Structure 1
Amino acid sequence: MSVRSCLKAASLAALVIFVAGCDEQKGGGEAAAQQQQAPATQVTFVEVQPQTVGLVAELPGRTVASRKADVRPQVDGIIKERNFTEGATVKAGQQLYQIDQSVYLANLDAAKAELARSQATLDQATKTRTRYDKLIKTQAVSEQARDDAVAAEAQGKASVAAARAQIDQARINLEYTTVTAPIPGKIGASSVTEGALVTANQEMALATITQLDPIYVDVTQAGGRLMRIQQGIDSGRIKGAANGDGVDVRLILDSTGDEYAHVGKLQFSDVTVNETTGTVRLRAVFDNPDQVLLPGMFVRAFVDQGEVENAYLVPQRAVMRRPDGSAYVFTIKSDNTVEAKALTIEQSKGNDWVVTKGLNPGDHIIVDGLQRVGPGAPVSPVAAKDDENAQPASR
């Protein structure tokens, strides 16, 4: 091959390589441009503003009768009558049973007779002592005789007092033969019937009365949570009283899921923490005129525990957790890029978290599209709305 042919072939090869390099450079530039012009990720956000948020604790609870009394006899005897219907509502003082009165009427009559005898003896002793008082002045009787008369009168007075006490005791025992209801409420089944022998203060109750109106609801709250609320109140962060009078309590019935018609009041909280569960018992009192609530029912109580000012309600679906458990959200900056913000959460409220630190008024928090973005990523924000035709919001 001649030198000219070699030079021509080399020039052609160099031209081919140059053209190919230009094409490759052009293609890479177009790809970079296309990548820079890719549309930002569309996300949905909500705007949050500070507000005063009421803290409400949802706590499990159980209903407890406000009063419960076992009816027992206080004297021995045979049941002559039962004067109530099992399961009915009884009033305080209403007669429930009648015990045979024969023995107790006789005892009362005997006590009255003893009083009459003692009174007669006292009258005689008094007359004797009065007469001796006159005779002692003329020394017609001895000092000893007068002293005996004075002692006899004193013994007579003591006998009269004892006889009157016996009458009172006999009358009380006679009244005890009529067994009455000590409290109002619903009475259960009777454990005895007519003709049964009962004894004073026997172990077995004749019947049990349960007062249902008002009724108590005992709920439990973690001791640490209650302490945190109290600390917040002491510092002024939380307005209200965790254990004060007049705190409202609402109930949700587990059986139906409905809210109970009456609002209760917090009555007290225990001063000790249960060593086994680490909880504190709170007791609320509720009106129960229709006796919808029965002792032993499980309920969910919502207890007002104060208010937090300048707090934010953040949807729970927008909050994420780091491996250490700390909470954060993605917010949208003014240049439509994503920023992560750490949060301090007070507690939950419905489907939201009550946030006390970490946010600013007007922050736009991403609620949908969190998996497709990260800090610094460009986004196309859309305000969260109920309808599906939400338009991107201008910033």
Structure 2
Amino acid sequence: MTYTIARRFAFGSILLALSACGGGGPQQGGGGGGMGAMPPPLVVAMTVRTQEVPNIVELPGRIQAVRTAEVRARADGIVERRLYQEGTDVTAGQPMFRIDPRDLSQQVEQGRAALARAEAARANAASVVRRYTPLVNERAVSAQEFDQAQATLRQETANVADARAALARSRLQLSYTIVRAPISGRAGRAQVTEGALVSASQATLLATIEQPSPIYAVFTQSNAAILDMRQAGSAPAAKALSQVEVRLLLANGREYGPVGKLDFADQVVDPQTGSQVIRAVFPNAERLLLPGQFIRGRIAMGTSPNGILLPARAVQIGERGASVSVVAKDGSVTTRGVQLGGQTGSNWLIKSGLKAGERIITDGWQKVQPGQKVQIQGDPAPAGQQPQPKQGN
């Protein structure tokens, strides 16, 4: 029994000695008790400042030709030959297709014959009237016969006019066998080949011509956003649309060189989507922009005199929209929703939700919970948070 009591006393003495040698490391965090409180996370923050920033609005859009013409058949028949090179430029009036003209040529000949018959009948009726004119005064011909002769002359004159119009129409139909380009532009792929039967009544599509330069970029945006664009900062009024510059980002991420101008804003809002169409015109001498191509437009709608720019890495975008982490004076963090404007480089333009002088976490917000206190890099550590030097054994 005496040996057991002595062994327990020796073990307790060893534990007391270890405690005196500084083995209580968990006490360093400034808290009380065995496991001390963790120090606040270290983050990087910036102070919000207002400045004059360009009001850039980025919208998705699509390229559209300024003029598009569908080349369609206006005569019935078989396509004999394609007269243009697919994918090349054509000029207005240039022949593009030839349709078999033989049937329509015969109709022209019939029209000529009908006109000749009508002219012969009119000449005969005119000679009758000339013969009856002196005889009616001598009462050798009754007035009724003379009136009938004059009516016949008028009828034959009308027949001549009708035959002449029919002949002109036949000639016009014959001219449609040579299908010509209605506008100048780039002719696309032929929709029919030699030997195809085309119809005037069905207006068979033969090809499409699109004017490649200048060219349109068409954007669709909500009406509310367009109103914000026009009212933001020093944005120009509707009558000054031609002064608004637009730059394009191509599908490969590169910027299109020439700068365009807005030239049209639709005066009708789609009642189903609430969207409105705006359009810009661009030079396209190198034919880099093609109709149907998807692009993104960066529209410079003036400047915002009291704009706020934040690095994109400081903005948290989720299901409920955009938000930032704001550091209060006591070092606690709150999450606040903000309304984003356009993006300028790697920065977001903040339309509302922040004011000058507030501090925003730019790096490290991922490891902070709302209500938690943080230590900002570069700031002196709060009292009681300085690490305690370790003591030797």
CA distance 1:77–1:229, shift in 2 (3 Å): closer
Q: Which residue of 1 aligns with 2:49?
A: 48
Corresponding position: 1:257 with 2:258: no
Counterpart contact for 1:48–1:314, Cα < 8 Å: no
Q: Which residue of 2 aligns with 1:349?
A: 343
2:209 partner SS: strand
Mapping 1:183-262, distance limit 5 Å:
183=183, 184-193=185-194, 195-202=195-202, 204-221=204-221, 223=222, 226-230=223-227, 233=230, 239-241=235-237, 245-246=241-242, 247-254=244-251, 256-262=252-258
Q: Which residue of 2 aligns with 1:297?
A: 293
Give the Cα separation in 1 of the matches to 2:79 and 2:312: 66
CA distance 1:337–1:94, shift in 2 (3 Å): same
Counterpart residue type for residue 178 of structure 1: I
Q: Which residue of 1 aligns with 2:268?
A: 271
Counterpart residue type for residue 313 of structure 1: L
Mapping 1:114-193, distance limit 5 Å:
114-183=114-183, 184-193=185-194
Q: Which residue of 1 aligns with 2:76?
A: 76
1:290 partner SS: coil
Counterpart residue type for residue 82 of structure 1: R
2:205 partner SS: coil
Counterpart contact for 2:87–2:186, Cα < 8 Å: no
Query: Percent identity between the aligned chains?
Result: 35
Tell me by how many angstroms 1:148 deviates: 0.6
Mapping 1:82-97, distance limit 5 Å:
82-97=82-97
Counterpart residue type for residue 151 of structure 2: A
CA distance 1:344–1:232, shift in 2 (3 Å): farther
Counterpart contact for 2:322–2:339, Cα < 8 Å: no
Give the Cα separation in 2 of the matches to 1:205 and 1:42: 66
Counterpart contact for 2:43–2:374, Cα < 8 Å: no
Give the Cα separation in 1 of the matches to 2:99 and 2:266: 43
Counterpart residue type for residue 189 of structure 1: A
Q: Deviations over 1:158-183 (max 9, x none)?
A: 01110110111111011011111223
TM-score (norm: length of structure 1): 0.67
Counterpart contact for 1:328–1:342, Cα < 8 Å: yes
Counterpart contact for 2:260–2:280, Cα < 8 Å: yes
Counterpart contact for 2:129–2:153, Cα < 8 Å: yes
Counterpart contact for 2:250–2:296, Cα < 8 Å: yes
* Runs of 5+ consecutive residues of structure 2 not aligned to the other structure: 1-29, 31-41, 380-393
Counterpart residue type for residue 187 of structure 1: G
Counterpart residue type for residue 354 of structure 1: L
Counterpart residue type for residue 88 of structure 2: A
Q: What's the RMSD between the two structures over aligned residues?
A: 4.2
Number of aligned residue pairs: give it: 334
Give the Cα separation in 1 of the matches to 2:295 and 2:234: 27
2:249 partner SS: strand
Q: Which residue of 2 aligns with 1:11?
A: none
Give the Cα separation in 1 of the matches to 2:322 and 2:171: 75
Give the Cα separation in 2 of the matches to 1:291 and 1:325: 39
2:241 partner SS: coil
Q: Which residue of 2 aligns with 1:58?
A: 58
CA distance 1:308–1:185, shift in 2 (3 Å): same
TM-score (norm: length of structure 2): 0.67
Give the Cα separation in 2 of the matches to 1:103 and 1:143: 48
2:93 partner SS: coil
Counterpart residue type for residue 146 of structure 2: R
Q: Which residue of 1 aligns with 2:389?
A: none
